[in-house]
Amino acid sequence: MPTPTEILAQMKRPAQWDGWVPTFSGAGYRPWDDKPGPLSKTDLAYGLSYTYRYGGQSYPAITVAEHSVLAALIVRLLWPGNQALERAALLHDAAESVLHDIQSRLRRRVKVHLDNEVITWSQSDLRVTSHIAAQFGVTAEDLKAPEVAAADILAACFEKRDCPNLWEGDWGLPQIPVVLNGLQMHFWSPEAARARFLAAGDELGLWDSLTP
């Protein structure tokens, strides 16, 4: 039998990580490159549907894919007739398909050390999201629109309301508008969330320009 030391001695890591991360399709992605290349809708949807909000600690668990579909629906109900903003809301957490969802109270303390700069996690998140969203015709301006930010916050209101273990504490969240009272969390499984996310993007014409 080999010893642990013998096994570890065989490990020869590259001198420098080239930024590549694996994806479901096997194509991989380089999230922090200036030109990271395409991320397929399949890899995007898979990553978001198997990434959970609140570090996976909410009960029931909430996928980022469900959160994104809810945000897009909120934009449709509150500010109808603007599909560009619906698309942006659906993709506002696109970076989390290849990185991770770091809880907001932690992300303020996280720095990303790149080759030539150090940026905050929020800056990294916006940069990677913008690269991915641009492939599907969503602009950085739409991603930063106040309607998208408000929909993101309102989605969190439903998450806090519908998850028993998120009830404690004042998060400083706004009231849910009356027009949204009929909405609720569904706590979709990853497979269901992936299907719903892809269907929402299909309805909005997001996938027209890319291959599966």
Residue 30: its pLDDT value, please? 94
Whole-number Cα distances in Å, 34 to 19, 114, 128, 130, 166: 11, 11, 10, 11, 38
Say if residue 32's pLDDT is above 70: yes
- Measured over the CA atoms of residue 4, residue 6, residue 7 and residue 11, the dihedral's sign is positive
Say if residue 164's pLDDT is above 50: yes
CA distance 145 to 183: 22
Say if residue 168's pLDDT is above 90: no
| Per-residue pLDDT reduced to its tens digit, 57-74 | 999 999 999 999 999 999
Most confident by average pLDDT, 11-20, 98-107, 155-164: 155-164
- Domains, the chain, ranges and CATH? 39-207 (1.10.3210.10)
| Per-residue pLDDT reduced to its tens digit, 95-132 | 999 998 888 888 889 998 888 899 999 999 999 999 99
Task: Classify each residue of 177-211 as buried b or exposed e, where b means 16 or more C-beta atoms within 10 Å of its C-beta.
Answer: eeebeebebebbebeebbebbbebbeebebbeeee
Residue 22: its pLDDT value, please? 94
Residue 211: its pLDDT value, please? 47
Residue 34: its pLDDT value, please? 87
Residue 107: its pLDDT value, please? 86
8 Å CB contact between 96 and 170: no
CA distance 47 to 28: 12
Q: What global pTM score does this model have?
A: 0.94
